[in-house]
Structure 1
């Protein structure tokens, strides 16, 4: 009996010690995913809050997570008492122990201001930054609808209002044709770097990239990439794109450049800034008529052409559904995106990726997550 009691006491103390020793690796497995999801969800709320705020002319603010420190404390104490018995005292064994656990994470946020704010959010996105995303599988019509203000003079919708606020019907026709060519494999996007000596100042030192619109090199689009003219539909679409963009039919590859005017072998594109993108998305949110009537905001901007659906459908009400994809509270009203609205969720993800690319500079540092492993 004494030996059995002693064994139980020793095993109990061993379990306490083992629990203390193994907390680090176990928390690392869970925290790596949990913190990544938490950062993503926080960024979604920040973006939606900026979109809704701009709908009512509120300037957005952005915070960057600089570091996350997950501090865990696990204390365990244990002891064993054995009495072999003497005289009237019976044999007995006693085990004692205590366990305490605490979690105190520390988050460090850095506000984005000054040059970093201007570079990431105010300057137009470079075509060399935007267009390669089409090669990663993003639909080119969605990408251009979000990022382009005009292509070869064809105007996208704008939040500025006025008679041309809904955009040009030819612009949306161009997007649909480009999407058909992309699905047919007849449209390729290629990035090309410039010669290394073009980045020199003359003193042997290279100029670094500043912001998102000072990228080296260029981006090119190839029309009729695989089997040009193999079908009448493809041939008609290729001819229509060249007609809308005023391109030479003798070429297949054209450079995409920032600006309003170009020759017949280049495609001029005026891109939006991140703030321009968020403002345009906010202008498409449907709001109650009384908020427009009292001057709190402007009327909702509609689109024309074949696609009149808002890029991202943001719903409003007193309370969002519990399973909303993302939701924020603004001025006593809730705004959210439905989890069942795949098109809106996908477009929102594209915007989130564009912002992540725009925020990258030479001095940008990724968030540091520190998780104790012992």
Structure 2
């Protein structure tokens, strides 16, 4: 018994100095991976919901707390017989992790502010300086640029008529080309008259045809070096172009048209259809093909970047589809930017989990 007691003291002393750091090394990475994965699955699920005109719902993880405990036990065991009498001490050590995870649905004023407010021009600048391609930013979160329309009705439920977007895409392709060549600089200004972004275009030749073409598309009188993008341009302002941004939910609706659905869902009316001027079914891949492609299958896909099961199908993004993964990460980053401070919201669901 004395040996068993001494052993327990030694085990307890050792465990108390190692259980905390070891638990931190194990649990922090595990929780981090789980939150990242479930956040991605939740975003993908809501994109699919929007394609089917189902209501989206975001459930935020507001807090995670973990309680670690150490339980020690000791006892004696043995046998008594005519030829063999033995007694042996025994000990037991049990580590128990009891995490408590709190969830809060995103609703009310926070939902309106985060998802329904147009993306601010200052956020456009932050995304640009974060390294996101200028054409990706504009295609997802800008629905009007001067006279150019970028499928403004695609910022909501799927419209019945084919959208207008070709000239807008031509302009953003020119912006990307100039941006890749280091000929575009973007700055933000805030004044009493309103916020604005300034595109400074520098040419390497006396006559840069791409700049002239871009200015012509934007309705500017001639090739100029400074283009001011603002929500309310003044009539006498030279080089000013109106820019209307989308909300976060509008951007999600826009890329949700990259969800591929089975023909039978079109046939029975589960998914709204869009038709062109000739009455033919419009292919939304023309709009989202370089931004987002969410595939479907009857079986759980292998090699998926993220996947969810919904309406009896697996919807997923391929791990080697870098364009879709980039847009998905882009939306995720904007979602984090718009989230602001996390506050408790009622009702809060708290799940205590006991694991031994």
**Fold-level similarity (TM above 0.5):** yes
Superposed displacement of residue 180, structure 1: 1.1
Give 3-state SS (helix, strand or coil) of 2:230's partner. Answer: strand
Which one has more relative contact order, counting CA pairs under 8 Å at least 6 apart? 1
Q: SS of the counterpart of 1:275?
A: helix
Matched, 1:28 2:24: yes
SS state of the match for residue 76, structure 1? strand
2:168 maps to 1:171: yes
Say if 2:144 is the partner of 1:147.
no
Contact 1:327 1:337 in 2 (8 A): yes
- Distance in 2 (CA, whole Å) between partners of 1:21 and 1:248 is 74
**Uncovered stretches (5+) of structure 2, i.e. residues with no partner:** 77-84, 275-281, 345-356
Task: Output the TM-score relative to the length of structure 2.
Answer: 0.79
- Equivalent residue of 1:71, what SS? strand
Equivalent residue runs for 1:281-296 within 5 Å = 281-296=255-270
Q: Is the 8 A contact 1:132 1:191 kept in 2?
A: no
8 Å CA contact 2:71, 2:94 repeated in 1: yes
Maintained 8 Å contact 1:220/1:253:
no
Question: 1:237 is matched with which residue?
Answer: 210
What's the CA shift for 1:93? 10
Checking the alignment, whether the CA contact within 8 Å between 1:302 and 1:308 is kept in structure 2 is no
2:301–2:314: 8 Å Cα contact kept in structure 1? no
Whole-Å Cα distance in 1 between the matches of residues 203 and 50 of structure 2? 46
**Retained in 1: the 8 A contact 2:138–2:172?**
yes
Report which of the two has the higher share of strand.
2
Aligned residue pairs total 326
TM superposition shift of 1:141:
0.9
Q: 1:299 aligns with which of 263, 273, 286?
A: 273
**Residue 33 of structure 1, CA deviation:** 2.8
State which of 295, 299, 305 in structure 2 corresponds to 1:325.
Answer: 305
Partner Cα distance (2:315, 2:255) in 1: 13
- SS of the residue corresponding to residue 208 of structure 2 reads helix
The TM-score, its normalising length taken from structure 1, stands at: 0.76
Counterpart in the other structure of 2:159: 161
Identify the match of residue 118 of structure 1 among 108, 112, 120.
Answer: 112
CA deviation digits over 1:118-153, x for unaligned, max 9?
111122222222233112111111111111112112
The partner residue of 1:349 within 312, 329, 345 is 329
* Cα deviation, residue 176, structure 1: 0.8
Aligned to 1:313: 293
Counterparts in 2 of 1:98 and 1:333: CA distance versus 1, 3 Å:
same
User: Which of 237, 247, 260 is residue 273 of structure 1 equivalent to?
Assistant: 247
Shift of 1:231: 3.9
The runs of 4+ residues in structure 1 deviating greater than 6 Å are none
Is the CA contact (8 Å cut-off) linking 2:307 and 2:316 kept in structure 1? yes
The CA distance in 2 between the partners of 1:144 and 1:365, in whole Å, is 31
